[in-house]
Homo-oligomer: A and B are copies of this chain.
Amino acid sequence: MTSVAASTTEGPNRLDRRKARTRQALIDAAVRLIAEGRGERASIQEITEAADIGFGSFYNHFESKEQLFETASSEVLERWGRMIDRASAGIADPAEVFSVSLRLSARLSWTHPEVARFITGAGLDLLDAPGGLAPRAVRDIQAGQAAGQFSMADTEVALSAVAGGLIGLLRLHQRHPERVEESSVDELAEACLRLLGLPATKARRLARLPLPATEDW
């Protein structure tokens, strides 16, 4: 047991790592293509060229384009969701959890521009995906309704409006970076809290609370 990788039952070897790199190159290329808004339209040839791997290698990892895009989306949504969870851990008020989640998501514009572009590229389809902001916001909005803080009845409609606002801000930053700053993010959160039915004064206060520090991801 002196050599770490001596045992045959032990972790990934060089071959496994090479395979994982190829797979990851495909996923990263897919994320870039979704970000460019041509997720479904790209051919497998384009994908493998963007990933800089041989054409045939595609089928070692995925059975179809759809499966690759599905995997790529899940991966980004998973990271996004974990970031939200870490930052909102320990916050009790659902309205504040919602506000923090949304503000962090809007700040992706500059903290993780490639994730932001993925979100704008995917659009409202993200509402159906089981990851990222959507399921967490549904949970928070419903908790806020149960607690009597939010008055808007249709959770799904509210969520869709919030997603529209988020995507709008991310797109604005992509087109005109100089027109978006931290206060724009807070203003979006404030407006969304008002939309949900929170009193304007409380919305204003909540949307300006200091944000928890977020480690890199």
Q: A residues within 8 Å of B by Cβ?
A: 40-41, 123-125, 127, 152-154, 156-165, 167-169, 171-172, 179, 184, 187-188, 191-192, 194-197, 199-200
Contacts and interface: CB of A to CB of B under 8 A. Distances in A.
A-B residue pairs, 9 tightest by C-beta: A164-B164, A160-B168, A161-B165, A195-B195, A157-B168, A194-B194, A161-B164, A191-B195, A160-B164
Contact of A200 (B171, B179, B200): B200
Contact of A172 (B154, B169, B188): B154
A176 B172 CA distance: 33
Contacts of A153: 184, 187
Contact of A164 (B40, B152, B165, B199): B165
A86 B157 CA distance: 27
A187 B123 contact: no
A187 B125 CA distance: 24
A40 B127 CA distance: 21
A194 B195 CA distance: 5
A183 to B, nearest CB: 9
Contacts of A159: 168
B184 A172 contact: no
Contacts of A191: 152, 158, 161, 195-197
